[in-house]
Chain A
Amino acid sequence: MSEEMYAKLTQAVIEGEPEDAELLAKQALEQGLDPLTCVNEGLTKGIQKVGELFASGEYFLPELIIGAEAMKKALAVLEPAMVGDQSREVVGKVVIGTVEGDMHEIGKTLVGTMLIANGFQVYDIGVDKSAAEFVAAVNENDADIVGASALLTTTMLQQKKLIEALEEANLRGKVKVMVGGAPVTNSFATEVGADGYAEDAISAVDLAFRLIDAPA
């Protein structure tokens, strides 16, 4: 019975059915299933499979993103039901967003999705976020990594401001900074003192694993 439910959750993520995933999560709780096991045996297996299918070229970005959406919908039901010190196992915690003055959303959403698919806990704070807002999110979520996106030559300097703000808040020692976006380059990343730069969402995942020193 429970095995069947885990398999259905896995399938809802693989097939990218957010509504089904949410409904299944509710049913699982009604049946008295352990929410953490639902995540580990159901959703995580699903998102791993999605990641594999994407890596092998079979899945495209929409399948990847809708798969992650399905996982998020189900997590939103299951996580609040976890008891005591239960929490799902994550590779690392990432705060991600687009810098102040910049409304570009897609790049950081893709990176966030790829990180989710690879087992990271991702806090996507949205677009047009000030350095202070990034710092607050890092504090609040005890993040290991912060990812800042900038798509304009006029906003990329905000990435430098963010790094300075993290230093002022004495967080720079415990949080790694990765930067990205169309105008951003490796040398720019070094120049502003970031820990790493990635060209696309796939290499961003490799970078994140490297930064927290975890096996990919």
Chain B
Amino acid sequence: MIISFTLNGRSRTVEIEPSTLVADLLRENLNLTGTHVGCDTSQCGACVVLFDGEAVKSCTLLAPMLDGGTLTTIEGLSGPGGSNALHPMQEAFHQNHGLQCGFCTPGMVMTAVALATNNPTPTEAEVRRGLEGNICRCTGYQNIVASVLAGAAAMHAPGSGE
């Protein structure tokens, strides 16, 4: 079947098998390997992407569902005004050492962007609850939570372009 959707701001039309998962479409067909597959059982959150602006696990979303929708992956994040600089949330992870091995990071960042978009001033408790579906096997949660708090503030700071 043929589906059309917006991927990271650009219209895409692709032919797929109906049983294709979004994570596989991204990684195998479209060469966007920033989205990671950790558990493939919708528990770890490494594969989180934004579908119509909401965090979803791309290993548990069928590609046919994308038709007519908007998908944003870690590759689609950008700095203020669409610049090549890091997105404020990515910059916050960099500044706060919010990653160790980095495998969970794409999912953490995408979940964090959705969280901070819906809740511009989250508390630490709200951040921890918001990250319940994302597992860091290095257990680096303290710095991840600090990164999300800093990233949320940066996303909504005057002049951030958000």
Q: Are A and B interaction partners?
A: no
